[in-house]
Amino acid sequence: MFAYILYTVVTGLAILPLLLYARNPYFLRDLNYAITAIQIAIRVGKFKRQKPFYSVLDSFLDKVAKQPDKRFILFEESSYTYSQADKESNKVARALSTHAQLKEGDTVALFLGNEPQFVWMWLALAKLGCIASLLNNNIRSKSLLHCFSCCEAKVLVIGAELRGAVEEVLPTLKQQDVRVFILSDDCDVEGIENLSDKIQQASDQPLSPQLRANIHIKSPALYIYTSGTTGLPKAAVINHERLWMASFLQWVAGVRSDDIIYIYLPLYHSAGFLMGLCGAIDKGITVVLRRKFSATHFWNDCRKYNVTVIQYIGEIMRYLCNSPKRDNDRDHKVRLAVGNGIRADTWAEFLQRFGDIRICECYGATEGNVGFVNYIGKIGAIGKEHFLHKMGYSYALIRYDTEKEEPVKDSRGFCIEVPRGETGLLVAKIGERTPFSGYAKNRQQTEKKKLRDVFVKGDLYFNSGDLLKIDNEGFIFFQDRIGDTFRWKGENVATTEVADLLLMVDCIEEANVYGVKVPGHEGRIGMAALKLKESMDFDSKATYRHVKNHLPSYARPRFVRIQDALAVTGTFKQTKVKLAEEGFNPAVVTNPLFYLEDNKGYVPMTQEIFSSIEEGRIRL
Ligand SMILES: *[C@@H]1O[C@H](CO)[C@@H](O)[C@H](O)[C@H]1NC(C)=O
Ligand SMILES: *[C@@H]1O[C@H](CO)[C@@H](O)[C@H](O)[C@H]1NC(C)=O
């Protein structure tokens, strides 16, 4: 009898997960995710209470003590262990503290490419309790000065190859009393100080933790620039808590301590720096660092360095799928890909071609206070809702009017949550656990990302600017991005920044910049509707010269449309939605159209060019 009861109980228990599983095929993975999320919450709680606060730097120093000889950074033909990286950064910290007189809380702007020095530099600044401002190394002139001044840095450290870009703005920097250091030992430009020799001469002895004793979890750690909505790039304030949260993504994605991660995305963005580098430090793994993405070298690098984890953005996955097929396409050790923006068709093709790689698609903005992870691996989804999510933070998809470009309000003036399966604008409540730190020295843009009185009087939400859809199983799908930014080649393009630049061309009176969809491409490519000054013609040469000199290639308007008058809304906002829908098909658009041909300039758009683009014979 007893045996029988025991038997029933045991089988009953054994069947229970099966029953649950039948009702929810994702039960085990949901559970696993829940456990990880709870572990993370416990860990962050501990960091907060710990005095002094435990930072990513402390995590690095623990790895140095525990595994000094493990390889930390592999770069080209060089290899650096954790211990070597520690010593290198001690030297940098000493050189900077002596020659730039840095002290805790100071900000230093880094204008560097992806190279080991970038990592030493940041570790060094963290050791001194300083904040690093990570400048995008593609920006020039006005944008560069703007980005530099928004973080109130008094010191700028530049890579040797970026000397020309800095020389251009040096007079202005000097007026502002900025010290400029170059990672070189033979730069003879007046006003730029050699740093490499000073680093070489510095001692590699550890620095006292006293130097950073006042840093706490809410102190700013970094500035990362985003072109969130409008105007020039904005410096998102990344505090230590945020640094930690982004680093944990590798944990959620299932990165193990014996993994080797390949980082080729720029370190000045959050994907490369926070999720890639900081995540790797916390896991104590080896990082293969590359200056720049290259489709031809990608898999060779993975084979050469035994890479097991890669990061991606959607565009990269497509480049990889578009590269010529090879016999050894499946000959690699990559088992996990973490990133965001992969389209469903590319995802399927990628798996089919390159083998069984787990793809962990995530969603989140650098400055945002909400994020999702598709820990199931469901093709096409950017995340999955989890009951812990709803407990942890409060977010909603609200109805949005794309024509008027504003949320739809009900009769009482509040926003309306969309039902499941419908597209809505993602907003997330700003609160103690889900803060929005905003942008440095830019109150106006910070305010613009906030929505008030969303569901009740006095509430406050972060406006993600993204239109999403959630299905019945809780999978979240990206639909579109609204407003004044679009994404092209993985970079955000701020339409007003481009428009402001176009206005500097002599013949242009008004400019309306927007993104248009191109078949077979993620994101949108830039297009500008222009109104010319009276009795002037479109000066294609001058426009091309100007655009080429001042904008990175991904931000240059690829198509130009000349209009007699630019359409505006009732509140005089330029309308972009209709223009974007009309696109660049000369059969549809009756205005004069121009196309930016590589290395040539703006040429009149023809039906033939249009067909070539549509059929993929011209690559944009
Ligand atoms: C940097 O090094 C070069 C070559 O050694 C030298 O000519 C130059 O004066 C140095 N610059 C400064 C600011 O010390
Ligand atoms: C990659 O792995 C192979 C076999 O395990 C090993 O012989 C080789 O040295 C490794 N390469 C690197 C760069 O670590």
Is 260 part of any domain?
no
Residue 306 CA to ligand 2 center (angstroms) comes to 6
Is 210 part of any domain?
yes
> Which token pair is 365?
């903005």
Same domain assignment for residues 461 and 491: no
CA dihedral 386, 314, 282, 433 (to 10 degrees): -40
Pocket of ligand 2 contains residue 196 by CB under 6 Å = no
Tens-digit pLDDT profile for residues 520-533: 888 899 999 999 98
pLDDT of residue 230: 47
What is the number of the ligand 1 atom nearest to the C-alpha of 191?
13
How large is the average pLDDT for residues 210-220? 93
Domain count, the chain: 4
Pocket of ligand 1 contains residue 385 by CB under 6 Å = no
Same domain assignment for residues 36 and 123: no
Query: Which domain covers residue 604, as residue numbers?
Result: 486-614
pLDDT of residue 17: 55
In this structure, the residue with its CA closest to atom 1 of ligand 2 is 306
In this structure, the residue with its CA closest to atom 4 of ligand 2 is 306
- The Cα–Cα gap between 84 and 204 comes to 10
Residue 110 CA to ligand 2 center (angstroms) comes to 33
Asked if residue 13 has pLDDT above 70, the reply is no
Residue 307 CA to ligand 2 center (angstroms) comes to 10
In this structure, the residue with its CA closest to atom 12 of ligand 1 is 193
Nearest to 134 by CA among 319, 296, 290, 278: 278
Tens-digit pLDDT profile for residues 483-521: 777 888 878 787 877 887 898 898 998 889 999 999 888
What is the number of the ligand 2 atom nearest to the C-alpha of 74?
13
- The Cα–Cα gap between 44 and 232 comes to 34
Pocket of ligand 1 contains residue 194 by CB under 6 Å = yes
Asked if residue 465 has pLDDT above 80, the reply is yes
* End-to-end Cα, the chain, rounded Å: 75
Is 176 part of any domain?
yes
Ligand closest to the CA atom of residue 188: 1
Is 168 part of any domain?
yes
Q: What band does 20 get if pLDDT is binned at 50, 70 and 90?
A: low
- Non-local (6+) Cβ contacts of 567 within 8 A are 574, 575, 578, 579
In this structure, the residue with its CA closest to atom 5 of ligand 1 is 186
Tens-digit pLDDT profile for residues 130-155: 999 999 998 888 889 989 988 889 89
Give the rounded percent of residues in the chain with a pLDDT score beyond 90.
64
- Return the CATH number at 509: 3.30.300.30
Pocket of ligand 2 contains residue 479 by CB under 6 Å = no
Sign of the alpha-carbon torsion through 227, 228, 230, 234: negative
The model carries a pTM of 0.82
Is 356 part of any domain?
no
Is 292 part of any domain?
no
Is 167 part of any domain?
yes
Pocket of ligand 1 contains residue 410 by CB under 6 Å = no
Q: Do 296 and 264 meet the contact criterion of CB atoms below 8 Å apart?
A: no
- The Cα–Cα gap between 578 and 587 comes to 16
Pocket of ligand 1 contains residue 190 by CB under 6 Å = no
Tens-digit pLDDT profile for residues 25-71: 888 888 888 899 889 889 988 888 888 889 999 999 999 999 999 99
Look at 232 and 324; give whichever has higher pLDDT: 324
Pocket of ligand 2 contains residue 372 by CB under 6 Å = no
Ligand closest to the CA atom of residue 258: 2
Same domain assignment for residues 440 and 568: no
In this structure, the residue with its CA closest to atom 2 of ligand 1 is 186
What is the number of the ligand 1 atom nearest to the C-alpha of 192?
13
Tens-digit pLDDT profile for residues 105-126: 999 999 999 999 999 999 999 9
In this structure, the residue with its CA closest to atom 7 of ligand 2 is 306
- Return the CATH number at 465: 2.30.38.10
Same domain assignment for residues 476 and 490: no
Ligand closest to the CA atom of residue 179: 1
Q: Which of 75, 306, 332, 334 to mutate to test the pocket of ligand 2 (most atoms within 8 A of CB)?
A: 306
- Return the CATH number at 197: 3.40.50.980
What is the number of the ligand 1 atom nearest to the C-alpha of 194?
1
Domain end call among 180, 204, 239: 239
Same domain assignment for residues 216 and 175: yes
The number of beta carbons lying within 10 Å of the beta carbon of residue 344 is: 12
- Non-local (6+) Cβ contacts of 362 within 8 A are 249, 253, 275, 338, 339, 340, 371, 372, 373, 374, 382, 383
